[in-house]
Amino acid sequence: MKTKLLLTAFLGLVASGAFAAAPANKPVSSVEVIFVSPEKFTDAKEDAMDSERGRDALLGQLKEHLVASAAKYLAAGQRLEIKVTDVDLAGDFEPWRGPNFSDIRIVKDIYPPRINLEFRLLGVDGKVVNEGKRQLRDLGYLLTVALPTSDPLRYDKEVLSDWLRQEFKRPS
């Protein structure tokens, strides 16, 4: 009996268009992020011992943030291509402090976040609307309220968010 009720409810939702796909005639914005030679990045590691798996996990989080945040600034049909050429995460490891410090990223003002990137913004017609190279820095990052405070990449993500806010205007 329950199965029959669930099936009826599901079919009703399908018939009402609740699961309808987006209209095919409205182009969707997209953001593409590529990390160029991440093994050569200044500092994209989760501990003092650099591992490919740890680096990929951290860069994956930065990529997710960029894709989600940048999409807010694009008009329908626009495409943004971002090539990240270097990353130096906020803070650094100080293993000379003792055996337990090789896994702890020390955040001080002498270790600001730095991200170098190239970008191209393409219009609906595929033509370049804006492009350039940027060296993102935030020397006063410790004075920034970066949330959530539990996110170890909050300062790095905030640098990217600031760039997006300044570089691109919200679509009207």
- The CA radius of gyration of the chain, in Å to the nearest whole number, is 21
Per residue in 69-120, pLDDT (tens digit) is 999 999 999 999 999 999 999 999 887 887 877 788 889 999 999 999 999 9
What pLDDT is recorded for position 98? 79
* Burial degree of 131 (CB within 10 A; 0-12, 13-18, 19+): exposed
Nearest to 118 by CA among 73, 91, 85: 85
Average pLDDT of the residues of the chain: 84
Using CA atoms, how far residue 169 sits from 12, 29, 71, 166, in Å, is 41, 15, 12, 7
Per residue in 40-54, pLDDT (tens digit) is 999 998 776 767 888
Structural domains for the chain: 26-166 (3.40.50)
Token pair in block for residue 105: 């990223």
Per residue in 106-162, pLDDT (tens digit) is 899 999 999 999 999 999 999 999 999 999 999 999 998 888 989 999 999 999 999
